Amino acid sequence: MRLHVIPSPFFAANGLVLVPSGAGTALVVDPSAGIQHLIRRVLQREGVAVGAVLATHGHPDHVWDAAQVSTWGADGQVVPVYVPGPDMYRMDDPAAFLPMPIPEFAGPWSKPTDLREMPADSFEMSPGIWLRMVPAPGHTEGSAVFVGESSLDIRVNDQSFYASDEMVPWALSADVLFKDSVGRTDLPGGNETQMRHSLRTISNVLNPSTVLIPGHGPATTLADEIRSNQYLIRARRIG
């Protein structure tokens, strides 16, 4: 699995393009504003179309260009945009639920035409890409971590960051768990107590060797965060 990380100028959110070996389509995750041309460049270089779009949660910096990117399916087909159920309401107008200015370069909001609730069970989101959602509210009501397992080649702006030919557990940790930090809980829909419970659940459920690809900042591992992330250490202690 090649996993391309494309940092956006919109709050430095990470857009992701997941390309499984031998597939003709990719999964695009959190298509933020300002990176459409970079996403398209990756798709063209890989020789794939978009198979599906995943929004890890409903904040504007993670969903803004989902409608446009969802039209890049094979032969111009519109592909599904998956969103965790509790955050589905945000897709009517994501900016209305975040008290921060939207940058001018983002343009107007356009709601995707094929919105679908992310299933609770593991399923094949796009050919060759199976993900299991672990609900992790606290940043938003629908925040979650998305877990997979495969060989993994992480590339940040086309530069190699991490690679393993072996099967490794990995997770899209979105705005739940970052390297040395966690997602904010002071925004509408956030809840500090829920975040602590979510962090404790993640640390108990996932393999410590899991590679974490967050919604902002660099990749890390759960083991590293258990050792050094003070927010996670506190959550594991008091829950």
Q: What is the pTM of this model?
A: 0.97
Residue labelled with tokens 């997941």: 18
Q: Which residues pair with 16 in a beta bridge?
A: 5, 29
pLDDT score for 100:
86
Number of H helices, E strands in the chain: 6, 14
Digit-by-digit pLDDT tens for the chain (239 residues) are 999 999 999 999 999 999 999 999 999 999 999 999 999 999 999 999 999 999 999 999 999 999 999 999 999 999 999 999 999 999 999 999 988 899 999 999 999 999 999 999 999 999 999 999 999 999 999 999 999 999 999 999 989 999 999 999 999 999 999 999 999 999 999 999 999 999 999 999 999 999 999 999 999 999 999 999 999 999 999 86
CA–CA separation, 55 and 225 (whole Å): 24
Q: 158-189 as b/e, with b when 16 or more CB fall inside 10 Å?
A: eeeebeeeeebbbbbbbbbbbbeebbebeeeb
Q: Which residues pair with 159 in a beta bridge?
A: 156
Task: Give the residue among 99, 133, 98, 96 at the shortest CA–CA distance from 116.
Answer: 133
